[in-house]
Structure 1
Amino acid sequence: MQNFAKNVDVLTQGLKAGISGLMNLTNQGADPTSGVFFVTFNQDCTSLAVGTKTGYRLFSLSSVDNLEQIYENDTEDICIVERLFSSSLVAVVSLASPRKLKVCHFKKGTEICNYSYSNTILAVKLNRARLVVCLEENLYIHNIRDMKVLHTIRDTPPNPLGLCSLSSNSDNCFLAYPGSNTIGEVQIFDAVNMHAKTMIPAHDSPLAALAFSPSGARVATASEKGTVIRVFEVQDGAKLYEFRRGVKRCVSIASLAFSTDCAFLCCSSNTETVHVFKLEQPHQVLRQVPEEAQGWMGILSKAVSASANYLPSQVTDVFNQGRAFASVHLPFQGLRNVCAITAIQKVLRLLVASADGFLYVYNLDCAEGGDLSLLKQHRLDGRGEPAEGAPASAEPRPAPSPVPAAAPPAPGSVSSYAGILKGCSPGTMSGTVDSEKFHEMAAATESPPKGGFRFEDDGEFPPVTQKTE
């Protein structure tokens, strides 16, 4: 009996650790009153998915003034929700069942399939060719058309936050994940031909953030130190850019994102500042920043450049790093957030979604940069929009506090995991799935017609055939 109690305690602690790792908006600061567990932009930044303690919501990003809600599901607490471009396919994981992945057709309200794994799902990434499930020490690569497991990357370095990135471009279908948990190595894996492509020694400290460019040709990285952002060529691992985010130590990088035109890179952290870097030729980066925006760092950089032959290389490296082209000062700090740069109404905008339950929209001046002004803020928690003209900080936000982890499974509930994938063998799936259901997945993975998928056309998503028992 004593051993049983000890095992239950170990299980409880392990589950709590796994849950805290997968809640990307709550594991490093959250506003518990917002109920927002997860926020992510889809692959081309045309929509936003929000997972909450009561379900999930999908929003369109076609307008600055209005945040149109496309869909709302209020069945269970959702800690991961990923939408495939502008299709009706979503992959979801609930806080109550953190080992189970569901692939659904949200427009029809149907579940296409579900898989269970031997450990907590920390991240799910997808493009038109692959769906990747990240556990702490394993990565499973599925063919998104039929959800067969094509390859398993086993015994990866411990990755408790589920850090990984999948290129949205299925022609350059690369997967990036930490190659070490002690230094900042990036492992690039070819998810089409199923082999390791290259290992990039990106940082001296462990990785904190990864992001592919829209084409999949470049990858951006940041380490746990959080002061330097680097961009590498995927093909050969060559370093293309190096930017200094700041001089503060122990900054936790929340997200990295390329703009949809690959001309800019944005970076958010647990501070109140979001940085935007311009991807000019490396030697032109500093020169393109206005002198007033460079400040004392720009002045020192010029001085260092003039005396480069007389100073240690470590000193000149610091001052030769590119500076932020533009920046945003958020009305909060210490809250988890995710950023993106995309064109809305034909103008580039910087978007920041935060665990406080708000989406902040800023205008990005591509010529001048500098401090960006807030255009609009939208609520993500279903409580209605803030009053017109109200400043971003108008509503008081409680101090961050931990979000309680879900309770562990009750003794004897192991039978509910009868379909757990021991090593996730191909073809092992919990539940019976009619093959016709995968027609919907196949349709969604095709390149959409101009203007996106026609959701009103059922021919694009054949009806699901329910199999009777």
Structure 2
Amino acid sequence: MAHNLPPSPPDSPSSTTTTPPNPNPNPTLLHLSFNQDSRYFAAGTNRGFRIYNCDPFREFFRREFDGGGGIGIVRMLFGFNISALVGGGSEPQYPSNKVMIWDDNEGRCIVELSFRSEVKSVRLRRDRIVVVLDQKIFVYNFSDLKLFHQIETAPNPKGLCEVSQLSGSMVLVCPGLQKGQVRIEHYALKRSKYVVAHDSRIACFALTHDGRLLATASSKGTLVRIFNTLDGSLLQEVRRGADRAEIYCLAFSSSAQWLAASSAKGTVHVFRLKLDSGSLGIERSRRASEPNLSTAPAVSSLSFIKGVLPKYFSSEWSLAQFHLQEGCNYIVAFGHEKDTVVILGMDGSFYRCQFNPVAGGEMTQLEYHNVLKPEESS
């Protein structure tokens, strides 16, 4: 195991490095992930990995390996000089039980972490490396690779885990040991908080950059709940739909004003959050004599007979939606242009869309690309 690490990488790429393209122009996509501030995203393929800029869309970097090359997990550390790689696919570049920290300034892996079972996920901070196995999570110091913390979880085949990104106070969220339970670690406070978020197993969750807000969804996929991580209180509940559907991804906007969700129904939803700018769960102030329609939650027009109809008719529905191919796995993040979202699909699709923060409704598609075949983009 290597112990020498370079200085913290810059927040943005300084140069473009490419490898000669493979004669076969159609790689297989194995993994997609946004970086910490959603300015870039990474794609793992059966030949290596690639880094893209979101706005404007363009490929920044490509690294393809000879003899195998499959990368099943790729996670960036802000800019793309440092990435965590795990092998995947039919011909993996690295074993599935190893995390390789790639330094592109040196063009090689500078750290290797080995485990007794398959790595399900990795999360990076400037000061920590978090490795998720099926029933354990290991937290390492980035500086000296010493084990900082170890956590036992319920079976976690999706590798669910999120960490805050503000320097200093690290917050980590992972599944608890019971069905529907999440565990919240406040390392600065040296405190663990357990929240029973759902009756069914946890399927997805998201954390704000400051670690104060947590959004969760269960395997049922009808409701999304937002919690205060400090005391575990439920702040808001929004509804994706009335029937079951797996939620693939949840994402907060940087201001914690909006929450996005993508599901197996092929729909991306944007919800308005009723929270103050400090993310502490206090509703935004309103003038009693002048209601602010832009901060009112979207509620079913049938709510006047909510005593007769099922509960979901009076739930808070999404403000805006965008419809895609049903059954494809999509991940979503908020764009850096106001009121935009970026959507990535495991079919290679890239969408940038805009929503109306007052009227809502169907989002407007601003851009589409095929990330593996950009020449076919429109």
* Bin of the TM-score, shorter chain as denominator length: 0.7 to 0.9
Q: Once the 2 structures are TM-superposed, how far is the Cα of residue 34 of structure 1 from its aligned partner?
A: 6.0
Cα distance in 1 between the residues matched to 2:295 and 2:184: 36
- Equivalent residue letter for 1:69: E
1:123-202 alignment runs, 5 A limit: 123-154=121-152, 156-180=153-177, 183-191=179-187, 195-202=190-197
Contact 2:124–2:130, Cα closer than 8 Å, also in 1: yes
- Choose the corresponding residue for 1:278, options 272, 276, 300: 272
Distance 1:220 1:387, change over 3 A: closer
- Equivalent residue letter for 2:355: L
| Unaligned stretches of 5+ residues in structure 2 | 1-25, 276-281, 285-291
Asked which structure has the greater RCO (Cα within 8 Å, sep 6+), the reply is 1
1:368 maps to: 359
Distance 1:178 1:288, change over 3 A: farther
SS at structure 1 position matched to 2:302 = helix
1:60 maps to: 53
- Choose the corresponding residue for 1:238, options 208, 233, 243: 233
1:417 maps to: none
1:255-334 alignment runs, 5 A limit: 255-281=249-275, 288=293, 298-304=300-306, 318-330=312-324, 332-334=325-327
Distance 1:98 1:196, change over 3 A: farther
Point out the more displaced range, 369-378 or 226-235: 369-378
Q: Which protein has the bigger strand share? A: 2
Contact 2:271–2:320, Cα closer than 8 Å, also in 1: yes
2:222 maps to: 227
Task: Give the paired residue count.
Answer: 334
Q: Which runs of 4+ in 1 moved over 6 A?
A: none
| Unaligned stretches of 5+ residues in structure 1 | 1-32, 389-469
SS at structure 2 position matched to 1:90 = strand
Q: Once the 2 structures are TM-superposed, how far is the Cα of residue 372 of structure 1 from its aligned partner?
A: 0.2
Q: Normalising by structure 1, what TM-score?
A: 0.67
Q: Once the 2 structures are TM-superposed, how far is the Cα of residue 44 of structure 1 from its aligned partner?
A: 0.6
2:83 maps to: 90
Q: Once the 2 structures are TM-superposed, how far is the Cα of residue 241 of structure 1 from its aligned partner?
A: 1.0
- Equivalent residue letter for 1:185: Q
Distance 1:275 1:265, change over 3 A: same
Cα distance in 2 between the residues matched to 1:34 and 1:290: 45
Q: Once the 2 structures are TM-superposed, how far is the Cα of residue 369 of structure 1 from its aligned partner?
A: 1.9
Q: Normalising by structure 2, what TM-score?
A: 0.82
Cα distance in 2 between the residues matched to 1:229 and 1:366: 20
Distance 1:34 1:221, change over 3 A: farther
Q: Once the 2 structures are TM-superposed, how far is the Cα of residue 180 of structure 1 from its aligned partner?
A: 3.5
Cα distance in 1 between the residues matched to 2:220 and 2:343: 22
1:253 aligned onto 2:255: no
Contact 2:44–2:72, Cα closer than 8 Å, also in 1: yes
1:386 maps to: 376
1:70-89 alignment runs, 5 A limit: 70-75=60-65, 76-86=69-79, 88-89=81-82
SS at structure 1 position matched to 2:301 = helix
Contact 1:209–1:255, Cα closer than 8 Å, also in 2: yes
Contact 1:290–1:368, Cα closer than 8 Å, also in 2: no
Distance 1:58 1:364, change over 3 A: same
Contact 2:294–2:357, Cα closer than 8 Å, also in 1: no
- Equivalent residue letter for 2:122: V
Q: For each residue in 1:238-295, what CA deviation from the matched residue of structure 2 results, as whole angstroms up to 9, or x when unmatched?
A: 111100100012x1110000012221100001112111001125889xx95899x96x
Cα distance in 1 between the residues matched to 2:144 and 2:83: 14
Q: Once the 2 structures are TM-superposed, how far is the Cα of residue 196 of structure 1 from its aligned partner?
A: 4.6
Contact 1:34–1:357, Cα closer than 8 Å, also in 2: no
Q: Once the 2 structures are TM-superposed, how far is the Cα of residue 104 of structure 1 from its aligned partner?
A: 1.4
Distance 1:387 1:122, change over 3 A: closer
- Equivalent residue letter for 1:273: T
Distance 1:288 1:197, change over 3 A: farther
Q: CA RMSD in A?
A: 2.6
1:455 maps to: none
Contact 2:302–2:314, Cα closer than 8 Å, also in 1: no
- Equivalent residue letter for 2:127: A
Cα distance in 2 between the residues matched to 1:49 and 1:215: 23
Distance 1:221 1:157, change over 3 A: same
Cα distance in 2 between the residues matched to 1:147 and 1:377: 40
Q: Once the 2 structures are TM-superposed, how far is the Cα of residue 221 of structure 1 from its aligned partner?
A: 0.2
Cα distance in 2 between the residues matched to 1:125 and 1:54: 22
Contact 2:30–2:46, Cα closer than 8 Å, also in 1: yes
- Equivalent residue letter for 2:302: L
Cα distance in 2 between the residues matched to 1:274 and 1:40: 17
Q: For each residue in 1:167-217, what CA deviation from the matched residue of structure 2 results, as whole angstroms up to 9, or x when unmatched?
A: 122333111111145x31111013456x55211111111100011012211
Contact 1:35–1:52, Cα closer than 8 Å, also in 2: yes
Cα distance in 2 between the residues matched to 1:240 and 1:367: 22
Cα distance in 2 between the residues matched to 1:384 and 1:188: 40
Contact 1:104–1:112, Cα closer than 8 Å, also in 2: yes
Cα distance in 2 between the residues matched to 1:366 and 1:299: 19
Contact 2:30–2:45, Cα closer than 8 Å, also in 1: yes
1:464 maps to: none
2:21 maps to: none
Larger of the two Rg values belongs to structure: 1
Contact 1:340–1:352, Cα closer than 8 Å, also in 2: yes
Contact 2:370–2:377, Cα closer than 8 Å, also in 1: no
Q: For each residue in 1:310-360, what CA deviation from the matched residue of structure 2 results, as whole angstroms up to 9, or x when unmatched?
A: x79xx55x4443210111011x1111111111213xx33211100101111
